[in-house]
Structure formats: structure tokens, C-alpha cells
Amino acid sequence: MNKVLPLMIAGCLSAGGLVEVAHGADLLAVYRDALAYDAQYASARAALDAGREKLPQGRAGLLPTAGLSSNTTWNRQATAVRSEPPTSSNTEYNSNGWSVSLSQPLFRWQNWVAYNQSELAVAQAEAQFGLARQELIVRAAQAYFDVLLAQDTLAVAQAQKIAIAEQLESAKRNFEVGTATITDSHEAQARYDLTSAQEIAALNDLSVKKQVLRSVIGKEPEGLKNLKPGVQLARPQPDDINKWVEMAESASASVQIYQALYEIAQREIEKQRAGHYPTLDLVASRSRSRSSNTGSYALGAVRPGSDTDVHAIGLQLSLPIFAGGATVSRDREAVALKEKAASDLENARRTAALNARSAYLGVSSGLAQVQAYQAALTSSQSALDSNKLGYEVGVRINIDVLNAQSQLFDTRQKLAKARLDTLAALLKLKAAAGSLGEEDVAAINALLE
């Protein structure tokens, strides 16, 4: 499947009321900063390193084991002989030795199964890390878009405040010359005060959104690039919700995780049943023991020391007969856990399908909203111009102009939000299908100023 994100921004951004900052940080730079700083991603990377160690651990059960041991002992022996007359002796000597042992499994079926499980455990760790990477892309992009939207909201509030201030001044002038009532001034003043409060709220929200992005990238975001004007947005490819659902049900990272867990659970049954099977090992050992000369103080005799070397090689067969029912119980436990893993896998598939449907519908809805808001923006601008003209000639009152201004700025803000929400939905759609990657971030990044 094509990994390049099939999107471009529809329409053009309206110049009025939107923040346009040149030479700022872009989405790709923010994502790469997040790769180096984000704590959740760092945790996932460490978990991947730990998960990869399952393979050598599983392989160890198929390889030989060797051991070396040694000992040294100082001995003192006192002997009393019950005789007439009684006699006694004290003996002191040193004994020491060493041994080397080697064991090579020839047939241990549970070890082979454990090795297969370790391969699946590594696959699970890789899928888990892939999921964390995709989640990081979505989180970093969402935080980036939230800052852009907060900037746009603030810019809209500031532009609206300026427009209302102009209308307020106009109402005051008209009142002074007697062509308008004091009501017009009061209405404009009330709307101006309300917009001032909205500007304060927008400033606070922008500060919060910047801190959220800072927690992801580890630095204060400054001068983030906004969307280019004049670009178009295409529908996702393939433009078929059922195909996206099929991809999600098979390729979603969460599905791959639970698929690996299910296969591990299947093999766990085989592993536990292998507890009834015999085991066969090749064993070899070599040992050497030595005791020093021994002397008897009472008798004045000295006995010679001894050296002993032992070499052994052979086969060791072990056949379990009865383990108190533990093996059978673990078998039943493994069967139950396999059923649980099967249900978890099915739930993961259903959840992935639901996420894909939701994201696809979010993209479709977002595209329709962008188109509708673009048309509404043009209509709102025309309505504002008409109301201003009507106010000047006396067929419209001040509140009509104020309402038209509010509608225009509200439409402009909603259009900006619809564009950013559509981008976020597109990323979530790719993530639901398990194909979201850095190339998709780069595709969106190309649409920034």
C-alpha cells in the first residue's frame, strides 16, 4: 500500500485573522524532536531492547551448559581406642579437588517450544514499538495542530476586536452628529468587551497548548509554520472505507501484538503437555580429587596421600511419571489462557476496524466541512460588506454589522479548525491501518509555509 499520505489542503487560507509566521519550526522538525525527547517513546524503545533479549534466552535452552566446581577442605580427626591401656591418635590432612561437567540437551521438546515462543515474543515487542512510534506521530501532530489552532483563535479574536473597535468609533461619531442613537454605541461597546474577554481566554489557551507541545518535544515551540494558502485536498486512497477496514483488521499494530500473543498462548499448551514427555541429555564430566599425607601424632606413622581422576560420558534419560497433578493443571490453565488470547485478538480486530471506520468518516466529514466553510466564508464576507453599506446609507443598524462581523470571524475560525481536524483524521486513518510512518509526516510538512 502507498505509504505517502494522500492529502493536500483544500482551498486557501484566508489572510485576515490567521497567524502566518515565516521561518518557523515545521512539523517534521517537531516530530524528530519528539523522537529524541518524548518519555513514552523512550520507554517503548527500552521495552523493545528488553523484548529482543527473549530470543537468546529461548535459544539457550537448546545449547549445552557447562560448569566448573572446586573444593578444598582441612581435616582434623581425633580417635580414641578403648583398650588396655587406652590409646588415642590425632590425624590432620587436606583434601581438595575440582570437577567439570557438560550437558547437551538431545530431546527436550518444551525447550524447542520455548524457543519458538521467544521468536514470537520478539515479534510482539517489535509490533509494540511500532504502535508506540505511530502513537508518537499522532500525538506530536495533534499537539502541533492544537498550537496552530490556538494561534488562529487568538488571531481571529484580535482581528475581530480591531473590527469592532472601528465600528464602535463609527457609532460614536454618528451619535455625535445625530445620525445614530446611543444604543448603537452601547451595543458596540458590549461586543468589544466580550471580544476582549475572548482574547484573554485565547491567550491562555495558546499558552496551555504550547506547554503540551513542549512536554512532547522538550523545548518551547516558537514560530510554528502554518498551512500554505492555495493548496487542495484530495480524498484518501483507496477511497473505499471497506478496504481501510480490511487493512486495519490485518495490519494494525495492535492486531499484530495480539496475534503474537495468541500464537504464544497456542504454543504454551504444547509446552505444558511436553511435561509428560521423556527428556534425553548427553552428559560428560571430569573430576580430580587429592588428599595430602596423613600423620598420626600418637602412633608416629605417616600414611601416603592419594590422587584420583574420573572421566565420564554418557546419556541421561528421564521419564516423568507423576508430579502430583501439576502438569495436567498447567495444561488446563494454558488452554484457558489460549481462549482468552483468542478473545483478545478478536476484540483487537473489532477495535481496529472501528477506529478505521471512525477515522475514515472523520476525513470524509472534514473534507465536506472544509468545502462548506469555504463557501460560507465567501457568503459571510459578502453579507458583512452588504451590512456595512446598508449601515452607511441607513437601511441597516449597528447590531446588523456587528452580527455579520461575528459570523465572518466565527466561520473563519471554524474553517481553520476543520482543516486541522481533517489532517489529524488522516493521520489516525493511516495509524488504524498500520501504515503510518515518517513519510506521512513529511507529506504534511510539505504543505506548510
Residue 98 maps to a domain:
yes
User: Same structural domain for residues 311 and 358?
Assistant: no
Q: At which of 264, 296, 319 does a domain end?
A: 319
184 assigned to some structural domain: yes
Map grid coordinates 485573522 to a residue.
17
348, HSE (Cβ side, Cα atoms, 13 Å): 21
**Same domain (yes/no): 269, 135:** yes
CB burial of 82-102 (b: ≥16 within 10 Å; e: otherwise) equals eeeeeeebebebebebebeee
Residues 367 and 401 in one domain: yes
pLDDT at 10: 32
> What distance in Å separates the CA atoms of residue 377 and residue 383, rounded to the nearest whole number?
10
Residues 339 and 246 in one domain: yes
Domain-embedded: residue 201? yes
- Residue 302 is predicted with a pLDDT of 55
165 and 286 co-located in one domain: no
CA-based nearest residue to 129, from 5, 260, 1, 266: 260
pTM over the 0.85 mark: no
Q: Do residues 270 and 387 share a domain?
A: yes
How many alpha carbons fall within 13 Å on the CB side of residue 92?
Answer: 3
Kindly state the helix (H) or strand (E) to which residue 71 belongs, with its residue range.
strand 65-81
Which CATH number characterizes residue 210's domain? 1.20.1600.10
* Position 14 in a domain: no
Count CA within 13 A, CB hemisphere, residue 391. 22
Res 406: pLDDT: 83
pLDDT in tens, the chain (449 residues): 333 333 332 333 333 333 333 346 899 999 999 999 999 999 999 999 999 999 999 999 999 999 999 999 988 877 777 767 777 777 788 889 999 999 999 999 999 999 999 999 999 999 999 999 999 999 999 999 999 999 999 998 888 888 888 877 877 777 777 766 787 778 778 888 888 898 999 999 999 999 999 999 998 887 899 988 766 777 888 889 999 999 999 999 999 999 999 999 999 999 999 999 999 999 999 999 988 766 554 445 556 677 889 999 999 999 999 889 999 999 999 999 999 999 999 999 999 999 999 999 999 999 999 889 989 988 988 988 888 888 777 777 667 777 888 888 888 888 889 999 999 999 999 999 999 999 999 999 988 88
Query: CA torsion 227→230→236→238, rounded to 10°?
Result: -140
On whether both 399 and 296 belong to a single domain, the answer is no
Q: What pLDDT score does 200 carry? A: 94
Same structural domain, 304 and 202: no
How many structural domains comprise the chain? 2
Please give the pLDDT value at position 296.
54
Domain boundary among the residues 289, 319, 349 is at 319
Q: Which three cell numbers mark 347?
A: 476484540
Residue 160 placed within a domain: yes
**In angstroms, how far is the first alpha carbon of the chain from the final one?**
28
- For residue 216, what are the domain limits? 27-61+108-276+325-445
Confirm whether 236 is domain-assigned. Answer: yes
Question: Do 233 and 126 have their domain in common?
Answer: yes
Examine the domain organization and report whether 202 and 146 are in the same domain: yes
Last residue of a domain, one of 292, 319, 346: 319
In this structure, are 335 and 399 located in the same domain?
A: yes
CA distances from residue 332 to 276, 341, 402, 409 in whole angstroms, order as listed: 14, 14, 74, 66
Say if 1 falls within a structural domain: no
Q: Is residue 13 part of a domain?
A: no
Looking at the structure, do residues 304 and 160 belong to the same domain, yes or no?
A: no
